[in-house]
Homo-oligomer: A and B are copies of this chain.
């Protein structure tokens, strides 16, 4: 079970850490921000987490109202874990953490795992305010999509978007980290050709012409 060990402080940040402070919890939230995932998906995308800790965290998070467990309709009837509304409200927390940690994201160590959708979080800020629509992003490591201007704030997902995207971006991971660190401006990178833009909708035009 979860932190039987509360900080016992009448402080909202301490209360948040009572729920979120355990190892792996916030990284599981980061995974689920990219959409519903099965237990095995979570286990393979979080190398190093042991099976019992993952199961324990998922139980705690469900009890704390962060996630729900749902059975997928057949075929492929499996359980998936997904965030509740309350869980999705953690997006600003992960954005703040990611922004602070961007300065630490220098070289890639040989032991570092990489997943494409981990770059969606820093890209959300860069793309905010450019208009509404779905942007499909392709990296060497994989692809993900970003839904801008959604009613519950922008959301994103792993893999190809379920609907036809309004614009397609192709770039490399290095440019992605530079964007997140603020060393590179999105529109500069498009002008330089470090980011390729495809698509004919207004969102694609806005990205190319601005």
Chain A, residues 184-207, CB within 8 Å of chain B (1/0): the string is 000000000000000000000000
Nearest CB in chain B: distance from A104 CB, A: 4
Interface presence of A90 (CB below 8 A): yes
- Chain copies in the assembled complex: 2
| Chain A count of residues within 8 A CB distance of the other chain | 51
- The dominant DSSP class at the A interface is helix
> Complex: how many Å from CA A114 to CA B17?
16
Query: What chain B residues lie within 8 Å of A118 (beta carbons)?
Result: 9-11, 13-14
Contacts of A131 in B (CB 8 A): none
Contacts of A77 in B (CB 8 A): none
Of A92-100, A147-155, A159-167, the one with at least 4 CB within 8 A of chain B: A92-100
Q: Which residues of B contact A137 (CB under 8 A)?
A: none
A121: B residues at CB distance < 8 A: 12-13
Residue pair B112, A12 in contact (C-beta under 8 Å) = no
Q: Does A23 reach chain B (CB closer than 8 Å)?
A: yes
12 pairs, A vs B, C-beta closer than 8 Å? A7-B27, A8-B48, A10-B114, A11-B105, A11-B114, A12-B97, A12-B98, A13-B94, A16-B98, A89-B100, A95-B96, A96-B96
